[in-house]
Amino acid sequence: MENVRGYEESSSSQHHHKMSHHHHKFQQKCTKHLFQFVQIETKDDEVHQGILHSFDDENVYLLVPSQGGTDNSRLFVPFGGFGLFGFPVFGIRRFGPFYPIWW
């Protein structure tokens, strides 16, 4: 039984290490693209483009042009024609720089 318990602790420790390594890489990517135009794809298949305004351990914040009639449940602070939207880190499938066709 001790070997099994030791294996579980080791496995749990490895899982935590992988998660913290992934989180660290994610934060490095956020730092690299801070104040740049990015696209975020969430795990529920929504796609959002905006300027990467800031991030913390739990959320990524984008400045997104406000559009009438859209779901503003992610909106935090209005900035004239823009809104600051927060996206939970655990809900992001992928993100990176976004270059519109006209760019």
What mean pLDDT comes out for the span 76-86?
Answer: 68
* 9, part of any domain: yes
* 63, part of any domain: yes
Q: What is residue 4's predicted lDDT score, i.e. its pLDDT? A: 44
* 102, part of any domain: no
pLDDT at 68 over 70: no
* 33, part of any domain: yes
- pTM above 0.85? no
pLDDT in tens, 18-27: 567 778 888 9
Domain boundaries, position 14: 2-97
pLDDT at 15 over 70: no
Whole-angstrom distance, CA of residue 76 vs CA of residue 61: 9
- Please name the amino acid found at residue 66: S
* 7, part of any domain: yes
Q: What is the CATH number of the domain that holds 34?
A: 2.30.30
Q: Domain tally for the chain?
A: 1
* 103, part of any domain: no
